[in-house]
Structure 1
Amino acid sequence: MSTKTNADELRDEVRRRYAEAARAVTEASSCGCGSGSCCESETDGRWGEALYDDDQRGELPEAAVLASLGCGNPLAVAELREGETILDLGSGGGIDVILSARRVGETGIAYGLDMTEEMLALARKNAAEAGIRNAVFLKGMIEEIPLPADSVDVVISNCVVNLSVDKPSVLSEIGRVLKPGGRIGISDVVAEDRLSPEERAERGSHVGCIAGALSRREYEVGLEAAGFEGVDITFTHEVAEGMHAAIVKAVKTTQPELVGLPVIRAAESAGCC
């Protein structure tokens, strides 16, 4: 008898889809997501490589560009500085890690965290091809980041937090690994506050980056509870009715006292998938 929970099944489905995406790129497929896309279609201007400018794409191996499955460009707002330590959650084919590593320079370091072996292998290959020596790719889950507390200056992510089945843990872990005063620049899909979890589920699948999205208010409350201040969530473009790609920015408070995490009830608790 299977002991897998719905959360385990969703995580396995996400892992399977992104493994397919990595294999498709490795096999020189013309579509990075293969059949059965990850974050829907990355060819319509709302997802993937189209969200990076020509100069950024020119810095990258072709396979890194093809493997881009995100909903935004977190580097556009992350304001990376020489010598900083950066962590990219759900680093995929390595596009944001490679670009980050260039910006923090040889005195900085760019970590990429992914749970999919195929994506990690692709990212390491892409970084080597790009001549990047200050990138480190780690295997793990974003709910359990394998880095020490207070070790990172900036956390970025591109359309991955919405895929998590335990978002309070993700936000708490981001707060744990960031140094006091550290900051986030996250691209994610965020729902309008008027939409219920059931209504979000009607607009797309969890693996397609839609159904599991938090609302703007849920994101704000979750980040504040995890020890962040100055939370700013800016919608950039609509990806489904009432669902938006967004830039999420916040700074880890320098105060040591953190309040307890609330229960964030997003679409994964609504039996959407």
Structure 2
Amino acid sequence: MKLIETGPALLDLDEDGVAHLRLNRPEAANGMDVPFLRALYDAIMTAHGQAGLRVLVLTGEGPHFCAGGDVKTFLGKGEALPDYLREATAWLQNVAQGLLALRAPVIAAVQGFAAGGGGFGLVCASDIVIAAASAKFMSGAARAGMAPDAGSSVTLAQIVGVRKAMEIFLENPTLTAAEAERIGLVTRVVPDDQLREAAFAAARKLAAGAPLALGATKRLVWSGLGNRVEAQLPEEARTVAELSGTADAREGLAAVIERRKPTFIGR
């Protein structure tokens, strides 16, 4: 493996064209703040520039794939949160678009939690998702007084259907890996101790295929909703920033940190 990017987003590429992008904030459950999102975007853009890239495997270091936004950082911003989230959401949008537009297939290997616009959104922006049997999935945005982002307000409905997407967004269930596989959010589930091996086995199989054909196929599949995703991103960003300035959003973030049920007042 040749290490290309370092820091909170690690990227390396092997001689067979399989790149490995690792979310590297395990101490924060790979929670996303602005510096992390910038680094992740830079790593994805670096991947775009690798002529030999055939497949990208996306993983999270530590026990969780990605717990979403860094809620402690968000809550600490106080009244400045809307401005901070405008910047964070812009970087997250660039990350999601970068994965969708990457010519090589993206395989996400998910352990622990994939939650929030970060974790859940990255899952929705990946081409193939392999989950450990104990993995869990949750949108979580409305639970914290926020709204979906990373393009998931479009991609999730395309993946699982409008009714199921509404249930996931509005009721915020915690989906098991088996449930996620059943509704089509996850491609397949493997035993926990086989996750990494299964992801790279799938990557090597794809890497042995015809890269131009695979890239064209990916582009054709996503292009049916690509313009809709792109058009929806500014509205997602506006909505998230607007909601983040409300008392309910501050209460929702505090409740997540304190692990209690939030009390929303509608303002």
The structure in which a higher percent of residues are helix is 2
- Normalised TM-score (structure 1): 0.28
The structure in which a higher percent of residues are strand is 1
